[in-house]
């Protein structure tokens, strides 16, 4: 953390402060079509958007944004005053995207106090953002989040980044209007449709995302290009042996909750296991362990799934069980499903009614898509599924509420907020020992084989990127 700025940056910020009075913060009222046109015009002209993401814990927040070649000294100015008086300056680093030539700036702000409103501006020597605000959470350990999946910002003629970004904005506004105390937004992969830069501009364009940290994981569509990591600033990123060139697993802590975010497009059991082990060791006192990854390993309407899902079950299910993860949130299939309690991917405990106390495994929740809306038949029967919702052309989101020993999940329709499913997990003791079991005997073989596969994939991706860059 520094309080000194280069002369060029000081001059740029002075101009911005003089000209920037009244610049938009996260809008309280719904964004109109005309307002969205203006928002998109500015973002598209700059080819830059601020990504406001969680920090390692509640005392930190992360930021990323894009600048033209030649920009220097990326900083975030933080103040407790809307007029940005007496700001504290946090410096960061920049990384050039070889596919676009743009610089991505990464900054982390630290030492945030609980229950406090902060104002911030992101800047370099060449550019400066609007002033935004955010609030830190209380000290009581409670957490509320809204969760989406498969946002699918698109590049196309019928629907482009601007129009699909507005669909996403309306869905987010709908959820946050009903949950104004939510302090976190989650998205379980396939955030973009082809992984293109302008799709990520549409993803972070909603004004509300300037004030609420937004945590996403990679999906198979995000991996369609090599841009994902240039639009994210994720905390505690795991350094995989042969991970993705676009990002990977990461974790963060809010209140009593440890969030474990996985890149399920990476097939290395070795790296996913090491990541989970390190995160859980560092957060032994976390009451709740919540995982998020893209692929729907247990949302099928029939017991038999494709090879990809079967392989990921072999990789991830033992990790969820061994580290006693309470719940998993995913997407991919564009349908809402809640499972019974699973252990090593198998049915371990039925969930009768809407609540269970001290379950002996993991409950999986799978969500619909936002832009690429689909639906379908409920035909088929999977004994693992406790609740299935496949209404065509319906977008749903989850509300996650953690209060002490109670974790409540509601599945709601974006259209009218109607609750289609609700489930609560209760822990009867604060420090009740977890009940992990060792992975299956063959898991070491899985780790070796998937490690080889991940190495080959890494080599192929490296060669592909080299060809694209030329």
Greatest mean pLDDT range, 14-18, 79-83, 449-453:
79-83
Where does residue 164 rank: exposed (0-12), middle (13-18), buried (19+ CB within 10 A)? buried
Indicate whether 3 pLDDT > 60.
no
pLDDT at residue 432 in the model: 58
Q: What are the sequence ranges of the domains in the chain?
A: 7-135, 143-426
Q: Give the tens place of pLDDT for each residue, 170-200.
A: 999 999 999 999 999 999 988 998 889 999 9
pLDDT at residue 307 in the model: 75
| CATH superfamily name and code, 7-135 | Purple acid phosphatase-like, N-terminal (2.60.40.380)
Distance between terminal CA atoms of the chain?
38
Q: What is the mean pLDDT of residues 158-167?
A: 90
Kindly report the backbone phi and psi dihedral angles of residue 468, in degrees, each rounded to the nearest multiple of 5, phi listed first.
Answer: -65, -40
Q: What is the mean pLDDT of residues 51-66?
A: 96
Q: What is the mean pLDDT of residues 148-152?
A: 93
Indicate whether 125 pLDDT > 80.
yes
Structure tokens at 179: 């949950």
Enumerate residues 6+ apart whose C-beta is below 8 A from 68.
102, 103, 126, 127
Q: Give the tens place of pLDDT for each residue, 318-357.
A: 999 999 999 999 998 888 999 999 999 899 999 988 999 9
Q: Give the tens place of pLDDT for each residue, 220-245.
A: 898 878 888 899 999 999 987 777 77
Indicate whether 76 pLDDT > 80.
yes
Check: pTM over 0.85? Answer yes or no. Answer: yes
Which residue did the predictor score with more confidence, 204 or 142? 204
d(CA 10, CA 135): 26
CATH number of 143-426: 3.60.21.10
**Inter-residue contact 267 to 220 (CB < 8 Å):** no
Strands 132-135 and 214-216: unpaired
pLDDT at residue 24 in the model: 35
d(CA 161, CA 167): 10
Picking from 233, 390, 371, the residue whose alpha carbon sits closest to that of residue 296 is 390
**2-16, 91-105, 107-121, 393-407: range with lowest mean pLDDT:** 2-16
Q: Give the tens place of pLDDT for each residue, 390-427.
A: 777 789 999 999 999 999 999 999 999 999 999 999 99
* Percent of the chain with pLDDT strictly greater than 90: 57
Give residue for tokens 């309407």.
301
The confidence band for 11, taking pLDDT boundaries of 50, 70 and 90, is very low
């Amino acid at each position: 953390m520094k309080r000194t700025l280069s002369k060029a940056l000081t001059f740029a910020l002075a101009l911005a402060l003089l000209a920037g009075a009244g610049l938009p913060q996260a809008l309280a009222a719904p964004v109109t079509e005309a307002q969205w046109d203006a928002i998109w015009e500015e973002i598209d002209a700059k080819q830059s958007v601020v990504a406001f993401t969680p920090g390692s814990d509640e005392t930190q927040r992360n930021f990323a944004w894009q600048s033209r070649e030649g920009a220097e000294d990326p900083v975030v100015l933080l103040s407790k005053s809307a007029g940005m008086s007496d700001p504290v300056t946090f410096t960061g680093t920049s990384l050039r995207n070889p596919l676009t030539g743009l610089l991505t700036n990464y900054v982390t702000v630290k030492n945030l106090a609980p229950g406090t409103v902060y104002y911030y501006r992101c800047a370099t020597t060449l550019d400066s953002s609007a002033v935004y605000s955010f609030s830190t959470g209380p000290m009581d350990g409670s957490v509320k989040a809204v969760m989406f999946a498969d946002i699918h910002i698109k590049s196309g003629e019928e629907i482009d980044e601007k129009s699909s970004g507005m669909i996403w904005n309306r869905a987010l506004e709908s959820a946050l209007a009903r949950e104004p105390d939510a302090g976190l937004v989650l998205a379980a992969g396939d955030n973009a449709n082809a992984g293109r830069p302008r799709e990520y501009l549409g993803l972070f364009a909603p004004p509300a995302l300037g004030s609420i940290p937004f945590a996403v994981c990679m999906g198979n569509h995000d991996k369609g290009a090599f841009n994902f990591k240039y639009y994210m600033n994720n905390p505690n990123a795991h350094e995989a042996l042969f991970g993705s060139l676009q990002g990977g697993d990461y974790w963060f802590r809010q209140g009593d909750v440890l969030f474990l975010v996985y890149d399920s497009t990476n097939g290395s059991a070795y790296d996913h296991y090491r990541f989970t082990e390190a995160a859980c060791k560092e957060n032994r006192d976390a009451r709740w362990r919540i995982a998020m990854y893209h692929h729907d390993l247990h949302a099928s309407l029939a017991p038999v799934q494709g090879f990809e899902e079967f392989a990921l079950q072999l990789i991830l299910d033992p990790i969820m069980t061994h580290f006693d993860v309470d719940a998993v949130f995913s997407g991919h299939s564009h349908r809402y499903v809640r499972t019974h309690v699973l252990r090593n991917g198998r049915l371990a405990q039925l969930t009768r009614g809407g609540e269970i106390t001290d379950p002996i495994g993991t409950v999986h929740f799978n969500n619909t898509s936002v832009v690429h809306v689909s639906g379908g038949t409920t035909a088929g029967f999977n004994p693992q599924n406790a609740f299935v919702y496949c209404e065509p052309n319906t977008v749903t989101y989850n509300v996650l509420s953690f209060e002490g020993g109670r974790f409540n999940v509601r599945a709601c329709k974006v259209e009218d907020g109607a609750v289609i499913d609700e489930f609560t997990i209760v822990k009867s003791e604060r420090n009740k020992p977890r009940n992990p079991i060792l992975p299956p005997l063959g898991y070491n073989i899985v780790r070796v084989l998937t490690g080889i596969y991940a190495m080959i994939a890494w080599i192929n991706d490296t060669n592909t990127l080299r060809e694209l860059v030329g």
